[in-house]
Amino acid sequence: MDVSKYTDLAVMYASEYGLKIIAAILIFVIGKWITKKLSLLVKKMMLKAEVDRTLTEFAESIVYFMLLLMVILASLNAIGVNTTSFIAVFGAASLAVGLALQGSLANIGAAVLIILFRPFKIGDFVDAGGATGTVEDINLFSTIISPIDNRTIIVPNSAIIGGNITNYSTKDTRRVDHVFGIGYDDDLKLAKETLMQLLEADDRILKDPAPFVAVSELADSSVNFVSRAWVKSEDYWGVHFDLIEKVKLTFDEKGISIPYPQMDVHTNQIESK
């Protein structure tokens, strides 16, 4: 066995590829360090500019991934690997993964739109994607909404962007609307005055715009009043429920009836021959 032959071959390969391997390792190590520093710099700049934290972390991940990919390609090129074919394979693989995960990618795209256009933020009370409640979290794939009964609803971001979004927290005030009915035999003026007094007596109801009461409809079995009152957004539900209770109790005290649906059945007796 000719040992010198293999030794010479090893020396030849080491002299030919040794420096390239060392250069590739140095490129990868130094490039990875620079990539991490640059991605952190991007994150700090975005946080300083008060960009939403979810978008900041997403941007940081994208920057890190893209720069690291460039470092890997540069390392392979230093060894002598043909990166052109590698890029083609990577592109085909990315396309296949993209088609397989198109639903997830749609959610990520929707998350970016939510963060950029900011139809709502964490802490807002919204109606979006078929769920109504307070927004607890916005991540890359879904939005966490907690209804008033303290459940947790996970809504895909694509479902939110694809439908209507109602944000109840963007305005400082909201209008509380009710419809109350009285019987046709009841005193209309007394009922109207009573409703207005109840609205004016509640300190949570704003004086400007002034509360409003009017006859809205002569229905089949009742005369309907519409009442409208402006309140601060945080007082909406309290006023909404309290007013219903107060109207019922006050109407009972004053003898004003609140009709309910009923059916009168008339029978005709037919005498037998």
Residue spans of the domains in the chain: they are: 11-100, 119-167, 173-253
State phi, psi for 217 to the nearest 5 degrees. -165, 140
Taking only the tens place, the pLDDT of each residue in 44-72 is 887 777 766 666 766 777 788 888 888 88
pLDDT at position 14 is 59
Order of strands across the sheet with 131-138?
A: 153-156, 142-146, 131-138, 125-128, 165-167
pLDDT at position 71 is 84
Average pLDDT for the chain: 82
The CATH number of the domain covering residues in 173-253: 3.30.70.100
Mean pLDDT of 194-209: 93
Taking only the tens place, the pLDDT of each residue in 138-197 is 877 888 999 988 899 999 988 998 889 999 888 899 999 999 999 999 999 999 999 999
Rounded CA-CA distance 129/260 in Å is 35
Considering only residues 213 and 101, tell me which one the structure prediction assigns the higher pLDDT: 213
In this structure, whether the domain defined by 11-100 belongs to CATH 1.10.10.60 is answered with no
Is the pLDDT at 248 greater than 60? The verdict is: yes
CATH topology of domain 119-167: SH3 type barrels. (2.30.30)
Is the pLDDT at 121 greater than 90? The verdict is: no
Confidence label for 12 from pLDDT (cuts 50, 70 and 90): low
Give the N- to C-terminal CA distance of the chain in Å, as an integer. 132
